[in-house]
Structure 1
């Protein structure tokens, strides 16, 4: 197989020639280009990364004939679909007429898109039946559903543009919705069904499209609409996708989902044909997008940077999930009766937790690319059950200086699985016809703490802190995002009905604080209708609070309270030190506007009971309409100004806090303007990402990006489980670097001391673990792509010198375990008390360097 790693001098000139020819002469050159390894763009930057080859293109081949349709953005009359199953139709009609109560549908819809050009006329909540959908199992509802998504001047994939000004929930009452072509997802869209009676999207036998739901539709030029690394703020929940009417031999996909951060799929069912020769696949994530930039810049294929999925049930198909991405976290995937439950096309790092796979020929394939050219960097599987499958994992790993194909299996229950791990030459780890357990097994490069050493085999797993486990179980505690399906609408209090405006200009501080206090006292759930709620003082969230947003409602802090960089003040304060209790908080964004260098966006003090936390809550700092920090105010190359200093810290879990649960949380300082048609880069400055000083903390599917001093710091913390964690260093560094940036070191917070730097390159640390104990990380991606917006420092395979160090372990830290460590752009992968333990040149893998197992 031709790879740029093997033929670097030939690859780029030929790739450039073919791409330029395609830009000039069209798709006649597509087949040639598809035979070359793919490249990626990181966010707004065109960055060539030879990480993925023709495997992505071959996965796309069955869909070439209809992957380039433009989206339907206007309503056409619904039409009846002919069928002989009259009884099934009648039952569907009856079900549609008797929709079960669900608070999200029943509550008054008062959401306002504050910075939309017509906020009074823009509709946030859209019921598909208001746009003509019937849900009767007879009528073709495709056009009506697409009209519900697109109405109101929203941004679809054909626009190739993002925006925060057109958020929408597209709601499906219970029923069966017949579709004949793809439902086209738009930017900042949540597709949500009735949680109490899951609606069905049922494909016709002649269905045409890449996915019943297409999350990033290919356009007429052969490119995906959006750069998938920039597709944020979207969800799919509470839907069943039925492909069973499509002939088994026809290639078909449930969900096409190239995506970035702050995205999720939850409580979704996908049903496919299990007949011999089936070509169906449940979830497809390829993240390949050819984009002709100019004759002087060759095409790039973008890699997605996701993502989160949970509580997904898939039956039948050739593949339950056929997926590739930089990194992803998937929890509670239940897959049965597929040929291959999960086919890992490629990745840098992936974490699977709580898999239940039954009656599949292969549960997990990570062998793509074959021996010597594996395109899977690392995979971690924990707390999972595999049953009645001939093979659990297929791999092409071999002992090598390269570390591709790294794998960790921990706490896996097998039942009637004869082969646990199968290599290129046969069985590597035997299973059994009965029941057995894999306590811990892995392959790849390990550091204990010194290395590297190639290993393949069993090892002693770390002792899991008992406080992090589910009651009566050896598995980690997990909790799905609350949807309050059993709660009647009377259990909710609307923040707008309580008097808040959410218009981005009215000071809503007093109204929101009063509503928070009274809702908690009355055991009510506080509903933040969509809006941007301006506040000028700290909001205190008392114990017992339950808070849920609509389409990512925004709390936006502005004003003098947060003007002093030497006197940081929280925006949202979860409990006060010494308080106990719990809260639930979901589907919201915390932001700032104007100069707020003293803002701690979320401060968590609560000593909670198990189950207290936040789900799909994100910090978004700069880069959106209303932030006053867009490309006009904070362009790249400008000198650091107070106007572009936006946050002291994204989130602080204080030493008083315990039992804090975070799921799918993204702490983001904007690197580009979300309203810019070209994703124009900006330079905004924040000090710190996530500081954890508490104990008993779950960090599932979290990311922290572009803070100047660090992205994650665990300081005198204990009992933390995390995975997958993902970081990016600010693109502007080292201009200024971490030592000379606008946020000075605060010794009280044990900030890193950058007065001397290993190798002299003082850029922000991705992860720092200081004087902490019992920290177990299942997958980490610590990335540094830029040196003052240039990517020459992260060229694969070397020099990888955007910064000298990115992961620092210091002091009396003990009980630290990291599985699947992946880094980009750093010379040293692990540093202990200023001494390098691991360097990138010893652990080259895909594009990221990879270490399977590190312990201290």
Structure 2
């Protein structure tokens, strides 16, 4: 332990220097010094019977043959690398986790003549030291260059269902359409996706003027059905859009967008369909419109939060949909600065709501349009008004903005500093107990600046895997750490972590990316991830990871054990716990209690399973949830207990499908040690009341929520957001709820009295919506 403490300063400095990709001009070299392209790869898919299947693919390898010289048509070579051996790259397959692929692009300019199609469980990664570029041929036509929701002759992959389009990502890759005639409606990327997806560190360079577009979300061949078929996303960020007609077209249920830069786009963002969008650290430069809120013939946004953003030389920053008291379209602005902006907000009829300063500068500290609650029960409908400036803890800020931290890519990490766990005793075969090998590797690497690399596979462990301070865990195509084969996790009253990040009182750094943590059996005492370690903001970070129970081939016996509706198996105690001694930065994390099987295997289809809790946060140090989803958990999605200094970006939740037949607490034993809600506020036979909470705020202070969406599948559900013990300086913006064949009674409820009802605040997902809830602000 003394060695670990002595290395805290070293590892903090190491991680800080390796967290961001730096986009630079493409390089003509056919080789790469970047660690990912230089190391030995031996990942495998344990549940794929094809032993010749290869996970890691370098597009320039002779097997595929891409040149990257800017002259050769590399379409066929790259497409082969993207789907080689993939039995799910077609419209007949609704999904699969058994074809994991990491497709690597060394530096170069890759000319393509046709659309590149990306299947599920695929990570596309470019070299961030000399970012590669995809360029279409001049005669490419009005098509997508990259397609994250492909179709074959009009039949979309993933069974034609974008809300089931999971597990795919792109990073460190540029797209350049400037060689195509500006009058052609070419689009860089189709991203009609759902959870466990991301695009990062990309630049979309388009012809000036004309019809070129950056990112679209096309989930249906029928234009009239586009608004309801674009997917259910979580987060993407660190993107640049240059020129073109539209930079980003959104047709999706929800998203958190962080660090987007738009320069010279006619329209930066078009929200054809969006229930809840959190736009954080957005820059609009020399654009006619920043956010076009209601494009013709589309359903528009229901609510957006624009925070820590700026605009220069823009005509209208937000063109907002019309609203009234029965159809709310909320806008929240926090910390916005502008220079030479004519209108900050105007409605779709060009009526000015909030004027800018066309010749000078202007700052908007805090502003809301929609319904504002200044006390616990009285709504104030407004087409726009300022509210008191938000009091933000200094430690949560960076340069006057909320702290953020991009996904680490370790651009200058040496090949010799990558430790492949399969080269040091771990098997990742889904059957060998890898605990001893992994624990030894993690302890040895801690504080050395070395990365612990998990090639694709399923790493079974029989007891808690402890991660010391100053550790880096890097996955490959969603490598899995799976609880398996032991009784450590059987006692729900004495739960234990599967992955334990630090010990109580320890400080240091931790980074985990591109990984899955899951149970391989029924473990009612399993906390999938527990964070005890503290550091400076962002020092303990998790990016692009999934905590799941069931739904995949790796779920093993759960399908056979969990078959009785109304007596759902307790697959895990909870997804993630951040203890009082810990702090964390979570970005694009999905906690998923499976409601269906992704794989067509027996183990994936244990539909009668449950996870007790989503995220339990007891931390008092700055903690950030940036685009986080927690779905189908029995007691709550996110619960903060006496927590302090919490930032919530977009939080997405779906309630349990099955809970009406097994009402909360759903055979769980509420444990006061872990602050579980006991639903004593509900009558014993009140099924509408005895349903999982979306967000549960229990005491604490300095808690800021910028957008939440909770979906119910019950005919009626009473509570969404539950507040008790009077949190201090709690501010809630743009809470949405809705349902499929169901409805809500309340958006926000306070245990001591006071409800924000859906009936008084219609909007959002056929449910309720308000712009700002401020009774606890201070």
Asked if 1:204 is matched to 2:132, the reply is: no
What is the distance in 2 between the residues matched to 1:514 and 1:162?
A: 35
Partner of 1:346: 273
Q: How does 1:367-386 map to 2 (within 5 A)?
A: 367-368=294-295, 375-386=300-311
Q: Given the alignment of the two structures, is residue 255 of structure 1 paired with residue 174 of structure 2, yes or no?
A: no
Alignment partner of 1:244: what SS?
A: coil
Cα deviation, residue 185, structure 1: 0.5
- Cross-structure match for 2:258: 331
Q: Distance in 2 between matches of 1:181 and 1:428?
A: 45
CA contact 1:289–1:301 (8 Å) conserved in 2: no
**Could you say which residue in structure 2 is the equivalent of 1:240?**
174
Structure-1 separation of matches of 2:78 and 2:30: 20
Query: What is the aligned counterpart of 2:556 among 625, 628, 636?
Result: 628
The 5-angstrom pairing of residues 390-429 of structure 1 reads 390-403=315-328, 405-423=329-347, 424-429=349-354
Find the counterpart in structure 2 of residue 55 from structure 1.
none
Provide the residue aligned with 2:760 in structure 1. 842
Does 2:215 align with 1:283?
A: yes
What's the counterpart of residue 854 of structure 1?
773
Q: TM-score, normalised by structure 1?
A: 0.82
The question of 1:483 aligning with 2:409 is answered: yes
Residue deviations 1:363-388 (CA, integer Å, cap 9, x gap): 11113369xx9631101110011111
Q: Secondary structure of 2:633's match?
A: coil
The match for 2:109 among 173, 176, 189 is 176
Q: Secondary structure at the match of 2:250?
A: strand
The answer for the alignment partner of 2:66 in structure 1 is: 133
Partner of 1:388: 313
Taking the aligned partners of 1:576 and 1:814, their CA distance within structure 2 comes to: 29
Question: What SS does structure 1 have at the residue aligned with 2:696?
Answer: strand
Distance (whole Å) between structure 2 residues aligned to residue 210 and residue 755 of structure 1: 56
Q: Which runs of 5+ in 2 are unaligned?
A: 1-24
Aligned twin of 2:511: 584
For 1:326-378, what per-residue CA distance to the aligned partner results, in whole angstroms no more than 9, with x for missing partners? 110111111111100111112110011111111111111113369xx963110
Aligned match of 1:649:
574
- Of the structure 1 ranges 519-528 and 724-733, higher mean CA displacement relative to structure 2 is found in 519-528
Does residue 143 (structure 1) correspond to residue 76 (structure 2)? The answer is: yes
Residues 736-776 of structure 1 show CA distances to partners (whole Å, capped at 9, x for unaligned) of 1113x132111111111213427652011111000121110
Separation in 2, partners of 1:543, 1:749: 25
Corresponding position of 1:562 = 489
- Is it true that 1:615 corresponds to 2:543 in the alignment? yes
Contact 1:619 1:667 in 2 (8 A): yes
Write the distance in 2 (CA, Å) between the matches of 1:358 and 1:722.
Answer: 27
Cα distance change on mapping 1:183 and 1:840 into 2, 3 Å:
same
Q: How is 1:98-137 mapped onto 2 (pairs within 5 angstroms)?
A: 98-118=30-50, 120-130=51-61, 131-137=64-70
Residue 665 (structure 1) aligns with = 589
Deviations 1:230-262 (A, max 9, x none): 111111001110111221111111110001111
For residue 11 of structure 2, what is the aligned residue in structure 1?
none
Unaligned runs of 5+ in 1: 1-91, 292-297, 788-792, 794-800
Deviation string, structure 1 residues 38-64 (Cα, Å, up to 9, x no partner): xxxxxxxxxxxxxxxxxxxxxxxxxxx
CA distance in 1, matches of 2:265, 2:101: 34
The whole-number CA distance in structure 1 between the counterparts of 2:251 and 2:194 is: 12
Give the 3-state SS of the residue equivalent to 2:331 in structure 1: strand
1:111–1:425 distance in 2 versus 1, CA, 3 Å: closer
Change (3 A) 1:409 1:206: same
Map of 1:829 onto structure 2? 747
Tell me the CA shift for residue 307 of structure 1. Answer: 2.2
**Secondary structure of the structure 2 residue equivalent to 1:580:** coil
Q: Secondary structure at the match of 1:409?
A: strand
1:672-683 paired onto structure 2 within 5 Å: 672-676=596-600, 682-683=607-608
Equivalent residue, structure 2, for 1:360: 287
Correspondence for 1:507 among 418, 428, 433:
433
1:168, distance to aligned residue in structure 2 (A): 0.4
Residues 96 and 173 in structure 1, CA contact (< 8 A), matched pair in contact too: no
Q: 1:195 aligns with which of 122, 125, 128?
A: 128
Q: Distance in 2 between matches of 1:465 and 1:413?
A: 20
Residue 452 (structure 2) aligns with: 526
Report the equivalent of 2:734. Answer: 820
Residue-by-residue CA offset, 1:399-449 (whole Å, 9 max, x unaligned): 42321x211111111011122111225222111121221111120111123
Q: Indicate conservation of the 8 Å contact 2:66/2:77, yes or no.
A: yes
**1:809 to 1:420, Cα distance in 2 relative to 1, 3 A:** same
2:421 is the alignment partner of 1:495: yes
1:777 and 2:691 matched:
no
How far apart, CA to CA, are the structure 1 residues paired with 2:577 and 2:624?
Answer: 14
Match of 2:19 in 1: none
Deviations 1:22-81, CA, capped at 9 Å, x for gaps = xxxxxxxxxxxxxxxxxxxxxxxxxxxxxxxxxxxxxxxxxxxxxxxxxxxxxxxxxxxx
Q: 1:267-301 CA deviation, whole Å, 9 max, x = no partner?
A: 001111113xx11110002444669xxxxxx9995
Alignment correspondent of 2:498 = 571
Q: Is the 8 A contact 1:182 1:209 kept in 2?
A: no
Q: Which structure: greater strand fraction?
A: 2
> Following the alignment from structure 2 to structure 1, what is the Cα–Cα distance between the partners of residues 553 and 211?
44
Partner residue of 2:391 out of 463, 468, 472: 463
- Do the aligned partners of 1:140 and 1:179 also contact (CA within 8 Å) in 2? yes
Q: Is the 8 A contact 2:344 2:355 kept in 1?
A: yes
1:719-758 to 2 correspondences below 5 Å: 719-739=645-665, 741-757=666-682
1:135-168 residue CA offsets vs partner (Å, 9 max, x unmatched):
1111111111111111113312423321111110
What's the secondary structure of 2:195's corresponding residue?
coil
Indicate the SS of the match to 2:294: coil
Q: Report the CA distance between 1:603 and its aligned residue.
A: 0.7
Distance 2:467 2:631 in 1: 25
Q: Does 1:540 align with 2:466?
A: yes
Q: Distance in 2 between matches of 1:369 and 1:317?
A: 19
Corresponding residue of 2:3: none
